[in-house]
Structure 1
């Protein structure tokens, strides 16, 4: 039983990676999923940015296999495995849910992000290439994606403000969360993944929506200037 966490990590990683093949593709909430259709909302990065999932899927599989093979029952790996399993287990049906309900998809992706961040902060100092970095990239993308989902869904229901206002709020929310996490972990892979998402927002908005582009650009500068706390472990 002491080795169950390593096995569960591999199982949930495989189900998570295979899940896109078992459901319809997802490229944003459809017009009929929200009262106010959100077609290419300004908070959403350009489509190419989502190619990072290929890297995430592949690296997580490698990490899970290596963990079961070489680090089965390792206390430092086990410390991070349970929250990672939770994130992957919730993420397995996420695409299917996202094609049906924007609200539930948003709730689920925040759970996924919180658990992934927890795993990232618990990641062992050793084996960065085998565990720390892939989990950091996974957590970083979910940090950005959760606020993209929130901004799209909230704008789609006309809560407080429109798509433009929620783009500002989503970017600021992602920046605040990323700053807090990076200060603790010091993991460059984590913050650079969020930077990747912000570049995608810049590409998507360009000069046609200059204020969102400028906020995303300032956010990138701010993230690159942040220094981790003295207690953090840099990856």
Structure 2
């Protein structure tokens, strides 16, 4: 069944919403910047500011994905049915998160970023037919990178809001930080073991290292825990990559079969 043009247009529009909201946020039109929003409760755990530069790569990938899936025949319909509507929901939620953060709607940001992450993780876990390399590169990879970053961003966002709302006691803040990082790492391990999306853990590793940079003097226990999680995920990724790309592996990505003339 061919994917309808309405879905393709909605996906492209959703990418425009996510990217457009980021431009509005940069101009100050949405109120608080993400950094200003985080400053209200980032005393428990945070990532170094340089880590958020990954959004440039993510937005570029989303734009490429939105254009690629728009043209009938470029991507396999099975891939578009798997990721189309979930990706649109996730990208709209990203844009809405920027609006909520700008307005300092703290609990709304928790729900929106978790929704954005979950919307992509579910199709990443879905068993799929062997896909073409082109589809893996231009559809799965951009969305896996977004899902990976949203995984660690969700726990950092939740810790920020809980701290700002007074739920985190100072004497237990380090344990809250470690617990938040452990949740992100556990989700990452689960997804990596169940999915062929090898790009997914890369933003998590990037973010965990950024947590180490930011917290090594403030909360060294949490910082070194973040390093340990990053190293474990890196080792697991190497193992998983070898397994997925192994010839004759049932998980391996292979070119789509050529139809008979």
Scaled by the length of structure 2, the TM-score of the pair is 0.79
Cα separation, 1, equivalents of 2:123 and 2:169: 34
Aligned match of 2:151: 143
Deviation at 1:53, TM superposition (A): 0.3
Q: Any stretches of 5+ residues in structure 2 without a counterpart? A: 25-29, 245-249, 255-261
Q: Is the 2:34–2:101 Cα contact (8 Å) retained in structure 1? A: yes
Q: Deviations over 1:11-52 (max 9, x none)?
A: 101111101222243215266xxxxx42x4342110000000
Q: Is the 1:155–1:166 Cα contact (8 Å) retained in structure 2? A: no
Matched residue SS, 1:115: helix
Aligned match of 1:98: 101
Cα separation, 2, equivalents of 1:234 and 1:173: 29
Q: Is the 2:46–2:215 Cα contact (8 Å) retained in structure 1? A: no
Cα separation, 1, equivalents of 2:198 and 2:98: 28
Matched, 1:74 2:74: no
Q: Which moved more, 1:205-214 or 1:176-185?
A: 205-214
Q: Any stretches of 5+ residues in structure 1 without a counterpart? A: 32-36
Aligned match of 2:166: 158
Aligned match of 2:142: 134
Q: Which moved more, 1:196-205 or 1:223-232?
A: 223-232
Larger-gyration structure (1/2): 2
Cα separation, 2, equivalents of 1:21 and 1:114: 24
Q: Is the 2:174–2:221 Cα contact (8 Å) retained in structure 1? A: no
Q: Is the 1:187–1:233 Cα contact (8 Å) retained in structure 2? A: no
Aligned match of 2:200: 190
Q: Deviations over 1:169-209 (max 9, x none)?
A: 11001001111111111433111110000011011112342
Aligned match of 2:221: 211
Distance 1:19 1:204, change over 3 A: same
Distance 1:233 1:153, change over 3 A: farther
Cα separation, 2, equivalents of 1:51 and 1:76: 28
Cα separation, 2, equivalents of 1:82 and 1:175: 26
Aligned match of 1:199: 209
Q: Which moved more, 1:160-169 or 1:84-93?
A: 160-169
How many residues were matched structurally? 229
Q: Is the 1:103–1:153 Cα contact (8 Å) retained in structure 2? A: yes
Q: Deviations over 1:92-132 (max 9, x none)?
A: 22111012211110111101110021243357732222111
Cα separation, 2, equivalents of 1:18 and 1:191: 26
Aligned match of 1:168: 178
RMSD over equivalenced CA pairs, Å: 2.4
Cα separation, 1, equivalents of 2:56 and 2:18: 12
Aligned match of 1:107: 111
Deviation at 1:72, TM superposition (A): 6.5
Matched residue SS, 1:188: coil
Matched, 1:84 2:84: no
